[in-house]
């Protein structure tokens, strides 16, 4: 049996320090059982508060901080990205996709609430993300809000996450370049959006947004290679999922295509490129550096 992941002692402090503000903000935006259909409210809250690492929202806050010094402005945008991430996990676990019973060491949303409510909870989280970005209470100017809506839609729709998922279910991928493209769309686009939305919330200029986008791209690649490696060598107690599930599911992975040694080398190269992109900021990037290094040494 897979149990809940144990605390990860290698985790950078920013993931713990920024967790509370992110979770308070998530809680503020999620409807309660008095406000929306109780079954939907329960399923949405269960999925959002089931123990995610909050990497994407923390990236958005750090991007904001690096361009402006204050992370609070990015809290609504950070939550919008986490809503999209949570929706994607709910749908990804469904029987028609990966058919997973466990996520983060707990039963998946459809196992607890049934398939129909799980699909609808994912749909509602997706809509909520765009509601947050366009809500006056978020404090964004109409120009900022519109730009964020556009950026997030691009990252999570047919040009990004959903398009990448379609490539993924399309069968085996034979070349590493195609695998790079698949993951750039499926997981990388949302990491890039985290960085871009955070930078936009902080009023970053074009050069800053470009550099942080580059960081997000390399972060996504390193994250995905590490994820594939963890699928082979990870401890299910720490990853919260069954070992070897990618390979058993017929998925192409980096270790399968290029071997373990080359996978480690490719992840390291992505990390180095991502760190170089931070050069523009002359310091103030300690947390982003730490998070980038964590991506390839995390255990879950
Ligand atoms: C079904 C619309 C739809 C999209 C599915 C992103 C995606 C596309 C599916 C996610 C499934 C998956 C396991 C992808 C591999 C990498 C990944 C995104 C892992 C989970 O991200 P973490 O580790 O998750 O940040 P936590 O649990 O910490 O939130």
Read off the pLDDT of residues 212-261 as tens digits, 9 standing for 90 and up.
999 999 999 999 999 999 988 867 666 666 666 776 667 788 998 999 99
pLDDT at 117: 98
Ligand 1: which of 186, 249, 300 to mutate, most ligand atoms within 8 Å of CB?
A: 186
pLDDT at 241: 64
18 and 54 Cβ atoms separated by less than 8 Å: yes
| 241 in contact with ligand 1, CB cutoff 6 A | no
Ligand 1: which of 106, 122, 123, 187 to mutate, most ligand atoms within 8 Å of CB?
A: 187
| Residue 3, domain member (yes or no) | no
| 252 in contact with ligand 1, CB cutoff 6 A | no
pLDDT at 131: 98
Predicted confidence (pLDDT) at residue 82 exceeds the cutoff of 70: yes
The domain total for the chain is 1
pLDDT at 242: 63
In which domain, by residue range, is 68 found? 11-294
- What is the pLDDT confidence band of residue 300, given thresholds at 50, 70 and 90? low
| Residue 6, domain member (yes or no) | no
| Residue 163, domain member (yes or no) | yes
| Residue 219, domain member (yes or no) | yes
pLDDT at 1: 35
The model's pTM: 0.93
Summary count for the chain: helices (H), strands (E) = 17, 2
Predicted confidence (pLDDT) at residue 297 exceeds the cutoff of 60: yes
pLDDT at 5: 45
| Residue 117, domain member (yes or no) | yes
pLDDT at 171: 76
- CA pair distance 221, 190, nearest whole angstrom: 12
Predicted confidence (pLDDT) at residue 7 exceeds the cutoff of 60: no
| 11 in contact with ligand 1, CB cutoff 6 A | no
| Residue 2, domain member (yes or no) | no
Burial 40-60 (b: 16+ CB within 10 A, else e): bbbbbbbbbebebbbbbbbbb
The enclosing domain of 86 has a CATH number of 1.10.600.10
Ligand 1: which of 8, 88, 183, 219 to mutate, most ligand atoms within 8 Å of CB?
A: 88
| Residue 5, domain member (yes or no) | no
* CB-CB neighbours of 14 under 10 Å: 20
pLDDT at 6: 47
| 125 in contact with ligand 1, CB cutoff 6 A | no
pLDDT, tens digit, for every residue of 16-49?
999 999 999 999 999 899 999 999 999 999 999 9
Predicted confidence (pLDDT) at residue 128 exceeds the cutoff of 90: yes
| 97 in contact with ligand 1, CB cutoff 6 A | yes
| Residue 152, domain member (yes or no) | yes
């Amino acid at each position: 049996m897979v149990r809940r992941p144990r605390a990860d002692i290698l985790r950078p402090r920013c993931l713990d320090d920024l967790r509370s503000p992110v979770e308070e903000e998530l809680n503020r935006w999620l409807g309660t059982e008095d406000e929306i259909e109780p079954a939907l409210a329960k399923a949405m809250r269960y999925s959002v508060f089931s123990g995610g690492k909050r990497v994407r929202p923390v990236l958005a806050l750090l991007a904001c901080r690096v361009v402006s010094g204050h992370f609070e402005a990015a809290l609504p945008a950070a939550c919008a990205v986490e809503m999209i991430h949570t929706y994607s996990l709910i749908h990804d676990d469904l029987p028609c996709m990966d058919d997973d019973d466990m996520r983060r060491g707990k039963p998946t949303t459809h196992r607890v609430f049934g398939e129909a409510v799980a699909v609808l909870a994912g749909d509602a989280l997706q809509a909520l993300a765009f509601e947050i970005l366009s809500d006056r209470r978020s404090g964004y100017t109409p120009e900022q809000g519109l730009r964020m809506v556009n950026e997030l839609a691009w990252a999570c729709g047919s040009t990004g996450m959903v398009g990448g998922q379609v490539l993924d279910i399309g069968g085996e991928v034979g070349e590493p370049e195609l695998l790079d493209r698949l993951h750039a769309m499926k997981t990388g686009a949302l990491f890039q959006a985290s960085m871009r939305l955070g930078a936009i919330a902080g009023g970053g200029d074009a050069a800053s947004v470009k550099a942080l986008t580059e960081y997000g791209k390399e972060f996504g690649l390193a994250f995905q290679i590490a994820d594939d490696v963890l699928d082979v060598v990870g401890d299910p107690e720490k990853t919260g999922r069954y070992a070897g599930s990618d390979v058993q599911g017929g998925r192409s992975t980096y270790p399968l295509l290029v071997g373990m040694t080359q996978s480690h080398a490719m992840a390291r190269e992505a990390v180095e490129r991502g760190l170089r992109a931070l050069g523009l900021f002359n310091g103030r990037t300690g947390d982003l550096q730490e998070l980038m290094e964590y991506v390839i040494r995390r255990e879950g």
